[in-house]
Each structure stands twice: as structure tokens, then as C-alpha cells.
A and B are shown apart, each in its own frame.
Chain A
Amino acid sequence: MRTEDMLKILHQYREDAIIIPGRGGNHWIKMSKMPERDLALSAIAMGGRASFALGLAMARPDEKIILLDSEGDVLMGLGTLATIADKAPKNLYHFILDNECYATTGGQPVPNAKKIRYDLIAQGAGYPSSHAFEKLADFESNIEAIMSEPGPVLVSVKVVPEIVNKPIQNRKPWQSRSNEQVVADFQKAVGPRVA
């Protein structure tokens, strides 16, 4: 499925969830109606997006958190799946947009790209619920029910790679705000934490 099509469907079920856009962020920020609740961060360290989402979910148990992750990120921080299952935040929805490759470095395959099953890894790590979809129609017919499940939920979807093959200094970042602005806008929107 195409990333943009998958995200358009997910967007219908966002309500006012906080989004952490990793893979597909370039599409997401164009369709989002609540940019102040999108933590569209740039130049952070690969492998940590899921644990960042976990931290946010624990700090804000009253908010629904949707993470748009990539399989390369997940492979780099695989142990985080066990920590997420351990802390079991009911408000965390973990989407892996699996394009089977490192798209921003030219499209080289990730380890065991064609055979690895992230839904089974999540299940083995202890996620109470995990799903995998290859076809957009299947994703579309299940997403409403998935978003009403208690978290943590993992949803792995196969997407078509959008390969970037330019030197990094020649790329235009898809993020439109600085990290400082993103965090400031977010914190203003969600207000102070209630312990």
C-alpha cells in the first residue's frame, strides 16, 4: 500500500490523539488538522522513536498517543518492545510502516526484510495486541476496531518505499518547525501534566 493512502485512512480515526510522525511524516503534516499535537521532530537519533513514544504515553496517560514508526527504527531499538510491553500503556498505538528498506540512504534492505514479522515479535515481547496488513483494504476494514482496543497495540503495515538518494545536505526537511517550536506548541496545547 502507499504510505499516503494508509495515513489518510488513519487520519479519519485520529480524533485528538497526539501523533509522533516518523516514517510518513512528510504526508502526515500535509493532512493534519492539529499540527500543535504533532510531535514532528527532526534530526533525532534513529532507534529511539518507540521509547520516546513510551515516555510520552507514561507521562500523559490521559492522552491517546499514535506513533508512526519505521522497521529500521524498530530493529535498532528492538528491546524497547519489551519495555513497552512491561509498562503496558493503554494509550499507545504503535504503527510500523514497513517498506523493507533504509529508504533515506538509497533503499538498501533491512536485515531479513522479506521474512521478518514485526507483529509476531511484538506478540512475543508481550504486547497484548498486534496486527499485520499488506493490503490497504484490509487495513481500512480493521482500523476502527483496532483504535478502540486498549493499548499497547502494534500494527505493522507493508508500504511502498519512497526512496531518497540525494546527499543529505541537498535534502529539504519535511518538518516545517524547529524542534523547540514543536515542543513549545505541543506543551501549550496539552497543558500542564496532572500527576
Chain B
Amino acid sequence: MTEEQALLSPEVVVQDLKENGVTHVVWLPDSETNFLYELMEKEPKLDLVPVGREGNAFSTAAGLSVGGAKPVILIQNTGMMESGDSLRGWALKLNIPVVIMIGYRGWTRHGKTPDTAAVYIEPFLNAFGIKYYLVENNDDAERISWAFEEAEKTQRPVAVLFGDEFHGFNR
């Protein structure tokens, strides 16, 4: 893979959010997502909702969804694991079709990583029965729309793991 191919541009992510009718981005900043933040902030169709703890993103998204809005959750894998009971009680228990966009901190293509945030995130999602798609670069971006379709079809949360957050989002 060339360096060019390794990029996942934040513009592509924002475009996917718009195309999928997202109204609110409930989020807590990821390690390297400031460019994405700046783009989202300029986008009038997206209302940014900052939370102080990732678990609260799930209850906020549940309220938005029950009220008829279309939220997305944007957090890091560390925060996903922090959110276990909220995922259970608010998103799964209430059948909330929300896409969870997760920065895959510590991800490597060869699978060997010293970062336990990467070691545990996929087993964590599997434990809750959350389907997930890995997005590494712009060529994978259609998987974001797959996740939205899957969430609607199953009326369950579906995750997108951003495996390249440390390149494209950081520019």
C-alpha cells in the first residue's frame, strides 16, 4: 500500500455523514480528529454534540433517535469500551439504529500492537454482538454507508472502525 492509498480524508467522512442523512454528531474528540472536527463544525447540516464521557453519547443518541433525528456517535476505541452499560441499556435495549464511528487507536495491519486499546476493541464489540466494518482509506469509505444500511435494516447499532485515523485525519 502506498502512502497515498493509506489516506482516509476527513472530507470523505463528512460527505458520507451528509449523504446518509445524519443530523447530529455526538462525540468526544479522538486522538487525531481535529481536522474532521473543523470540517464538521463548518457544516450547517451537522449539529455537534460534545459529551464529557463516551457512555453519555449512547443515551444522547438514543434520545435523538427516539425523537426522530439521525445521530452518529464519534469516539475512540478506549471510549467505546468505557461505554459498555450504556451501549447495553440505551442502544441495544431500545433498538437504536445508530452508527458508531470508532477511532482504532493502536491498530496495525499486521495485528501486532502494544496498545491494549487495540487488543480489546474487537473482542469487546463481538461480546455485545455489534457488527463492525474496518475502514482504512478512501477506497473503503463505502463501508460507512454499508454500516448505515445495516443499522437501519437490523435496528441495532453498527460500528465503523477507522484503522487509519493516525494518517488521514492528521494530514
Q: A residues engaging B (CB < 8 A)? A: 39, 41, 43-49, 51-60, 77-80, 82-83, 86-87, 179-180, 183, 186-187, 190, 192-193, 195
Contacts and interface: CB of A to CB of B under 8 A. Distances in A.
Contacts of A54: 49, 60, 63
A53 B62 CA distance: 9
Given A55-B71, A58-B47, A193-B69, A45 B94 contact: no
Given A55-B64, A59-B69, A48 B90 contact: yes
A180 B60 contact: no
B67 A60 contact: yes
Contacts of A83: 49-52, 56, 60
B127 to A, nearest CB: 16
B58 interface: yes
B59 A49 contact: yes
A58 B69 contact: yes
B90 A44 contact: yes
B66 A186 contact: yes
A40 to B, nearest CB: 13
A195 B88 CA distance: 28
A28 to B, nearest CB: 18
B interface residue count range (under 10 / 10 to 19 / 20 to 34 / 35 or more): 20 to 34
Contacts of B53: 77, 79
Contacts of A180: 95
Contact of B67 (A46, A55, A80): A55
B95 to A, nearest CB: 7
Contacts of A52: 59-60, 62-63, 66, 90
Nearest to A61: B67
Contacts, number: 122
Contacts of B57: 51
A187 B96 CA distance: 14
Contacts of B47: 58
Contact of B52 (A56, A79, A190): A79
B66 A51 contact: no
B94 A179 contact: yes
10 contacts: A45-B58, A48-B90, A52-B62, A55-B64, A55-B71, A58-B64, A79-B56, A83-B56, A190-B67, A193-B67
B102 to A, nearest CB: 19
Contacts of B135: none
A55 B55 contact: no
Contacts of B23: 59, 195
Contacts of A78: 52
Nearest to A63: B67
A53 B55 CA distance: 15
